[in-house]
Structure 1
């Protein structure tokens, strides 16, 4: 049984929580059946971090509606905790906001993506380093995952390696040495959760779409119609626990 400390970095919209649960539920549903138990810390609400990650097999951080472009004290504390955990031999995986926070902790800039929000089922491509990385063992060079984010890591910080990207976001996955990985996409999100996330943001998505030249009422139906299964997500999460711990 793997013991994972999950750092919860935000709350899903109320309509999302009512239909498909909150962020931590998606990690539990993806990994618990394979022999994983979670301790969940609501770090965005000021939950006290332990003195160390000793006793845990891994540390993970969720996504968040909050932004690393506006750092808060709890973000600094959580970033330091994750870096320290890896320094003491405990693997760390950051997802979306967690990925960005890890990059920030290593000296990268996190910025609003000039290409616009990425949301829905998307295709990501591994580069040579990604094809060789154990996080993506058994994953196709081009794979489908769910994504939702406005911010991106501008470029890999010194000492980190880009593993994957796509046309919207060139830094979709990063390796920070042997024990820290970050992914911009959401391996824990399944199609039903992606649908709930799109519907929760549909008014904002329509405003953004018209500003970028889409016809009114076009973008949200197109996003919903494009939702597809993303089995690579669960494989990536399983790889992290099996290959890094």
Structure 2
């Protein structure tokens, strides 16, 4: 990846999982192209300052175990910063919490999904709009992706394009402006990581827990490499 790319770390995974597999930023960096991808990790949840915009080539915002509606000071700061990033048309990919934060920064509404927790490997359906999208174009109409979330984008920003949906969440992927995307699912999760999240939370689903499955999700994982190529191409 050419230029300066930042991973904005807005949360951390379970401690025992991080000891074995690493954390959100490690999985994202691997998906973008490995440790040679030139990404700088900015741990804003831990108090790190947000980066300046000069020379910024791309931004990825991680997931988090926090809730966007908690409106933590660091989260509000990222939301405000994102408005400046978007104004400069810097490519952005928001994942889960990052997806929701991106939507809120653009005027959307985030809250608890009325259908409850979504967990495991689930089918994602592309909309017709996704066919010509620079990031999603060329993906299968239906693919499987890892998810773990209780909150969702309930109302997208007025100018947002819905690129993917499923029965649980009609806003699984959004495009916001020229070069910003949000995905509710986790392209950085592999099967092992997804299984840990399922094991930790499946009891919360009650009877629905029997329906949860975990499989490999290569199409979802490929979105990170696609994003890296898009940033490099600019």
Aligned-pair CA distance for 1:103: 0.7
Q: Distance in 1 between matches of 2:120 and 2:10?
A: 21
Gaps of 5+ in 1: none
| CA-CA distance at 1:35 after TM superposition | 5.5
1:238 aligns with 2:222: no
Contact 1:15 1:196 in 2 (8 A): no
Contact 1:190 1:230 in 2 (8 A): yes
Do the aligned partners of 1:103 and 1:109 also contact (CA within 8 Å) in 2?
Answer: yes
Instruction: Report the TM-score when normalising by structure 2.
Output: 0.92
Which of 209, 212, 228 matches 1:219?
209
1:170 positional shift: 0.5
- Residue 176 of structure 1 corresponds to 176
Contact conserved, 1:139 with 1:235, CA < 8 A, in 2?
A: no
1:235 CA displacement: 2.0
Q: Assess if the C-alpha contact under 8 Å between 1:145 and 1:230 holds in 2.
A: yes
Question: How many angstroms apart in 2 are the aligned matches of 1:147 and 1:243?
Answer: 24
SS in 1 for 2:56: coil
Q: Is the 8 A contact 1:16 1:197 kept in 2?
A: no
Deviation at 1:33, TM superposition (A): 3.6
5 Å matches for 1:157-196?
A: 157-196=157-196
Q: Which runs of 5+ in 2 are unaligned?
A: none
Aligned to 2:61: 61
Matched, 1:153 2:153: yes
CA contact (8 A) 1:43 1:49 kept: yes
- Distance (whole Å) between structure 2 residues aligned to residue 82 and residue 93 of structure 1: 11
1:37 CA drift (Å): 1.8
1:41 maps to 2:37: no
TM-score, structure 1 as length reference:
0.88
Q: How far apart in 2 are the matches of 1:45 and 1:228? A: 33
Please state whether the residue corresponding to 1:89 is helix, strand or coil.
coil
Q: Provide the rounded CA distance (Å) in 1 between the counterparts of 2:173 and 2:180.
A: 11
Aligned to 2:132: 132
* Whole-Å separation in 2 of the counterparts to 1:46 and 1:26: 21
Where do 4+ consecutive residues of structure 1 move more than 3 Å? Answer: none
Q: Partners in 2 of 1:131 and 1:35 — Cα distance?
A: 31
**For the aligned residues, what is the CA RMSD?**
1.7
Q: Contact (CA 8 Å) 1:30, 1:234: kept in 2 or not?
A: yes
- How many residues get paired? 231
CA deviations 1:100-157 (Å, max 9, x no partner) are 0011111111111111111111110000111221111321010111111000000211
Further displaced range: 232-241 or 17-26: 232-241
Contact 1:59 1:90 in 2 (8 A): yes
